[in-house]
Amino acid sequence: MKKIQFFDTTLRDGEQTPGVNFDVKEKVRIALQLEKLGVDVIEAGFPISSSGDFECVKAISEAMTTTSVTGLARCREQDILRAHEALKHAKHPQLHIFLATSDVHMQYKLKMTKDEVLASIKHHVTFARKLFDIVQFSPEDATRTDRAFLIEAVQTAILAGAKVINIPDTVGYTNPSEFGQLFRDLKANIPQFDEVIFSSHCHDDLGMAVANSLAAIENGARRVEGAINGIGERAGNTALEEVAVALHIRKDFYQTETNITLNQIKATSDLVSRLSGMPVPRNKAVIGGNAYAHESGIHQDGVLKNPDTYEIITPALVGVQKNSLPLGKLSGRHAFNTRMEELGYSLSEEEQNEAFKRFKNLADVKKEISEADLHALVVGQASETAEDETLAHLQVQYVTGGVQAAVVRTEGKQGVREDAATGAGSIEAIYNTINRLLNQNVTLVNYHIQAITPGQDAQAEVHVVIQNEAHEEIHGIGIDHDVLAASAKAYLNASTKQIPAGKQSFEEAH
Ligand code: KIV
Ligand code: ZN
């Protein structure tokens, strides 16, 4: 069996999704869950791009115990030094450096000749190897690079000391046949093909990222890069959970093994979906809400007789559990803590106490607390931590056909603050009040509300994206039994989030 390494870039390429901004706490929370999932390498950010990204990479480096941590760097010495500074406390640090090799990128973006590109790869990989034992080199836009030049660039990086060569399909242009052939060409022309690790990094512009990644694995790749739920630049990256399950279900074909703990997939997917504000489509492979629903009578009949008739993946395999023992108002601390542990949360005593308090408050208004409610409880708690401004009181006066009014009281670093304002609708009144209270001038770009569970007493989960004066888009989440309170919490969360100051976009950083 060939071992396939999983390289997760949810926190770097995934964060390049417009409107997705994780703060340090959220990134560490996701990284801890990724470690539990068993990914081999976490790309925690792009340290030179901003002080915030630097802090995230540093915090994740310090938090990981078994998982390797890497950061992105261009072929520039200052990028590599900055990445080293952020990664130096990681138990298993790696560096990821890249330089574009396609004609269009070299001519128009880099304005460099082929010889200059080769010289830069040689110099910077050599430089990086003085600081890192494991250096991964990516020839950006590899799938649109002249094949002979790609081989030369890869060979140059290997001779300079790169131990991992990642082949990016930067613009999502390739298809499985072509990508498989690319790996066969590399194998045929690179004498050290089996001594280094070849990796794939695919984007989903033509909807083929997962298929392309699997084709790479079939043809010699031993590392696969991607993001949870397939989030990322434009149409996103390879959805890692889909690759993991495909390799497992079709082990007979792929003959590979991985370190992925499959039953952590659902919890990881839920967390990333909530914190990124990117809902998972119901028909999404592996983790979509409908992935295990059988609608047609013939299918239902077959599944009842023998699940193998129509079910190739069992819900339990990826951690989708039936709510075996629903909790409610009368459930005690022991049952609650046990259930949280079963769901994969290892909460500190203080976190347990806070979560239990929230659970009891929820149980007062909701008869049966489902698994989804419990996940939401933890996410809601994480997004309303001590240093943020939290909602202490909300009062809304609704008048049919008139002007609506809101009073908002918050508690935070600046103590208790209270203000009031009006708006054409209740949400607008609340948001105008929060703007006054925080003395901010932001624009609401997106507002999305969904029920966490079915039923009339469901909790509401609100996602907002606001744009601040620096034109940065910031995502916020709010969860509450009441839709207006959830809306207020989401807006406060986005407004007070410590997003990386002056965060440079990937393109600006080129
Ligand atoms: O898509 C891409 O080319 C990248 C590289 C930095 C690997 O994300
Ligand atoms: Zn990418």
Residue 95: give its domain's CATH number: 3.20.20.70
Q: What percent of the chain has pLDDT over 90?
A: 68
**Residue 486 and residue 377 in one domain:** no
Query: 510 pLDDT band (50/70/90 cuts)?
Result: very low
**Residue 20 and residue 60 in one domain:** yes
Query: 408 pLDDT band (50/70/90 cuts)?
Result: very high
Residue 311 domain flag: no
Instruction: Give the mean pLDDT of 140-145.
Output: 98
Per-residue confidence (pLDDT) for residue 56, from 0 to 100: 96
Query: 453 pLDDT band (50/70/90 cuts)?
Result: confident
Contact of 490 with 433, CB cutoff 8 Å: no
**Residue 28 and residue 141 in one domain:** yes
**Residue 362 and residue 389 in one domain:** no
Per-residue confidence (pLDDT) for residue 241, from 0 to 100: 98
In single-letter form, the type of residue at position 101 comes to T
> Does 127 contact ligand 1 (Cβ within 6 A)?
no
Of 368, 383, 398, at which residue does a domain stop? 383
**Residue 367 and residue 442 in one domain:** no
Residue 211 sits at the vertex; the CA angle it makes with 210 and 217, to the nearest 5 degrees, is 90
Lowest-pLDDT choice from 156-170, 219-233, 289-303, 360-374:
289-303
Q: What is the 3-state secondary structure (H, E, C) of 299-325?
A: HHHHHHHCHHHCCCCCHHHHCCCCCCC
Q: Is the pLDDT of residue 323 over 60?
A: no
Per-residue confidence (pLDDT) for residue 324, from 0 to 100: 54
Q: How many helices (H) and strands (E) does the chain have?
A: 17, 18
What is the average pLDDT score of the chain? 91
Per-residue confidence (pLDDT) for residue 332, from 0 to 100: 86
Please indicate if the annotation marks 201 as binding a ligand: yes
Contact of 323 with 370, CB cutoff 8 Å: yes
Task: Tell me the CA–centroid distance for residue 29 and ligand 1, in Å.
Answer: 24
> Does 172 contact ligand 1 (Cβ within 6 A)?
no
Please indicate if the annotation marks 92 as binding a ligand: no
Q: Is the pLDDT of residue 151 over 70?
A: yes
Residue 484 domain flag: yes
Q: Is the pLDDT of residue 346 over 50?
A: yes
- Token pair, residue 329, equals 């108002």
Instruction: Give the mean pLDDT of 182-209.
Output: 98
Q: Is the pLDDT of residue 397 over 90?
A: yes
Residue 316 domain flag: no
**Residue 486 and residue 347 in one domain:** no
Residue 457 domain flag: yes
Of 352, 383, 414, at which residue does a domain stop? 383
What's the CATH number where 428 sits? Answer: 3.30.160.270
**Bridge partners for 480 per DSSP:** 460
**Residue 268 and residue 375 in one domain:** no
Instruction: Give the mean pLDDT of 318-326.
Output: 70
Cα distances (angstroms) measured from residue 212 to each of 54, 253, 303, 412:
31, 16, 31, 48
Residue 360 domain flag: yes
The number of the ligand nearest the C-alpha atom of 200 reads 1
**Residue 262 and residue 402 in one domain:** no
Length of the chain: 510
Q: Is residue 493 exposed (0-12), middle (13-18) or buried (19+ Cβ within 10 Å)?
A: buried
> Does 13 contact ligand 1 (Cβ within 6 A)?
yes
**Residue 154 and residue 238 in one domain:** yes
Which secondary structure element, helix H or strand E, spans residue 473, and what is its range?
strand 473-480
In single-letter form, the type of residue at position 269 comes to S
Q: Is the pLDDT of residue 503 over 50?
A: no
Per-residue confidence (pLDDT) for residue 385, from 0 to 100: 60
Residue 148 sits at the vertex; the CA angle it makes with 145 and 154, to the nearest 5 degrees, is 75
Per-residue confidence (pLDDT) for residue 509, from 0 to 100: 47
Contact of 474 with 52, CB cutoff 8 Å: no
Please indicate if the annotation marks 237 as binding a ligand: yes
**Residue 266 and residue 411 in one domain:** no
Query: 358 pLDDT band (50/70/90 cuts)?
Result: confident
Q: What percent of the chain has pLDDT over 70?
A: 95
Q: Which of 500, 510, 473 is nearest to 54 (CA)?
A: 500
User: Best of 138, 165, 202, 224 to mutate for ligand 1, by most ligand atoms within 8 A of CB?
Assistant: 138
Of 344, 366, 383, at which residue does a domain stop? 383
Residue 310 domain flag: no
3-state SS class at 211: helix
Residue 322 domain flag: no
> Does 138 contact ligand 1 (Cβ within 6 A)?
yes
Residue 287 domain flag: no
What are the backbone angles phi and psi of residue 206, rounded to the nearest 5°?
Answer: -105, 15
Query: 384 pLDDT band (50/70/90 cuts)?
Result: low
Residues 6 or more apart whose CB falls under 8 angstroms from that of 363 comprise 327, 328, 329, 331, 369
Residues 6 or more apart whose CB falls under 8 angstroms from that of 46 comprise 12, 53, 71, 72, 73, 506, 509
Q: Which residue has the tokens 């959220």?
A: 26
Q: Which domain holds residue 433?
A: 385-495
**Residue 435 and residue 466 in one domain:** yes
**Residue 132 and residue 8 in one domain:** yes
What is the per-residue pLDDT across 426-446, written as a single tens digit (0 to 9) for each? 999 999 999 999 999 999 999
Query: 413 pLDDT band (50/70/90 cuts)?
Result: confident
3-state SS class at 97: strand
User: Best of 72, 101, 150, 212 to mutate for ligand 1, by most ligand atoms within 8 A of CB?
Assistant: 72
Question: If you take atom 3 of ligand 1, which residue's CA is the nearest one?
Answer: 170
Helix 371-383 × helix 24-37 angle, to 10°: 140
Domains held by the chain: number: 3
